[in-house]
């Protein structure tokens, strides 16, 4: 199949969540092509393949959860499994240096576009037609711009380190310092336990060491409280912490979060 370099409307299936994720995967594959064209180091290419693989897993997980009520959902999940097998076979060849960088981009773009055209679009079309004929809920049952249940998947403390993640906490609203223990973390924010009760909207400065050597100091805003447990969103996440969390996501099995 000829490589497609630009996203087009004929690749859309009509559900905002799925289409947006498809576009992200498409962009990641083009990033791979750009890196190959720039003669990037093999390690850079392999890292990009890591990112693509992790995001594809997240996409398949979201799509399978969305389609779970439909009788043909298992059939579509099998196609996802076949696609991952092809990816792993190709990647093994790449690591053994039997594929060039340009070929890797061409293969992945064809591999991905082919799946959309031959499996996703016909599958969602059948769902839509079934709904029109009164055969139960179909694609219209999903909001066109449905968002994922959580924008950012949480990584639990025990998947990061065997030890508790202890943090210093300065509340800029009360001007008091206290301590906290981080339960989980994501690109969107953190959840932590604290003896001190913080109010909704309080702006905190949290500092901690994650793992053996990453030191984090970030501003967060409290968005929910339940007993000792507090949920807080990051305020202007620093590039260093964002980079660390992106790498952390790639190191943790997302399907087990």
CA 13 → CA 45, 87, 147, 148, 188, distances in Å?
30, 23, 15, 17, 28
Structure tokens at 174: 């009360």
Chain segment 186-202, per-residue pLDDT in tens? 888 899 999 899 999 99
Continuous H helices in the chain: 16-37, 42-67, 73-95, 101-115, 121-132, 239-251
pLDDT band, very low/low/confident/very high, at 252 (cuts 50, 70, 90): low
- The per-residue pLDDT of the chain, averaged, comes to 78
Q: What confidence score (pLDDT) does residue 139 get?
A: 39
For residues 142 and 128, what is the distance between their CA atoms, to the nearest angstrom? 11
Instruction: Identify the weakest region by mean pLDDT among 73-77, 88-92, 161-165.
Output: 88-92
For residues 25 and 63, what is the distance between their CA atoms, to the nearest angstrom? 14
Q: What confidence score (pLDDT) does residue 80 get?
A: 87
Nearest to 26 by CA among 39, 12, 38: 12
Q: What's the DSSP call for residue 10?
A: G
For residues 44 and 92, what is the distance between their CA atoms, to the nearest angstrom? 16
CB-based contact 159:249 (threshold 8 Å): no
Q: How many CB atoms lie within 10 A of CB 143?
A: 10
pLDDT band, very low/low/confident/very high, at 88 (cuts 50, 70, 90): confident
Give the burial class of 83: count Cβ atoms within 10 A of its Cβ; 0-12 exposed, 13-18 middle, 19 or more buried.
Answer: middle
């Amino acid at each position: 199949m000829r490589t497609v370099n630009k996203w087009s409307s004929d690749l859309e299936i009509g559900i905002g969540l799925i289409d947006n994720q498809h576009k992200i995967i498409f962009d990641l594959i083009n990033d791979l092509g750009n890196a190959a064209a720039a003669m990037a180091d093999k390690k850079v290419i392999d890292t990009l393949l890591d990112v693509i693989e992790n995001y594809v897993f997240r996409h398949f997980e979201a799509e399978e959860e969305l389609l779970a009520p439909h009788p043909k959902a298992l059939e579509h999940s099998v196609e996802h499994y076949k696609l991952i097998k092809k990816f792993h076979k190709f990647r093994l060849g790449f690591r053994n240096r039997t594929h060039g960088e340009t070929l890797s981009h061409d293969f992945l773009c064809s591999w991905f576009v082919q799946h959309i055209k031959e499996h996703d679009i016909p599958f969602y079309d059948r769902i839509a037609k079934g709904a029109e004929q009164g055969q139960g809920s179909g694609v219209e049952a999903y909001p066109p711009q449905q968002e994922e249940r959580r924008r950012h998947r949480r990584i639990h403390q025990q998947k990061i380190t065997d030890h508790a993640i202890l943090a210093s906490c300065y509340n800029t609203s009360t001007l008091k310092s206290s301590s906290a223990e981080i339960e989980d973390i994501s690109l969107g924010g953190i959840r932590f336990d604290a003896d001190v009760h913080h109010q909704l909207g309080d702006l905190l400065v949290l500092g901690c060491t994650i793992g053996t050597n990453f030191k984090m100091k970030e501003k967060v805003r409290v968005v929910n409280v339940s007993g000792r447990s507090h949920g807080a969103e990051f305020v202007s996440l620093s590039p260093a912490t964002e980079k660390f969390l992106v790498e952390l996501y790639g190191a943790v099995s997302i399907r087990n979060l």
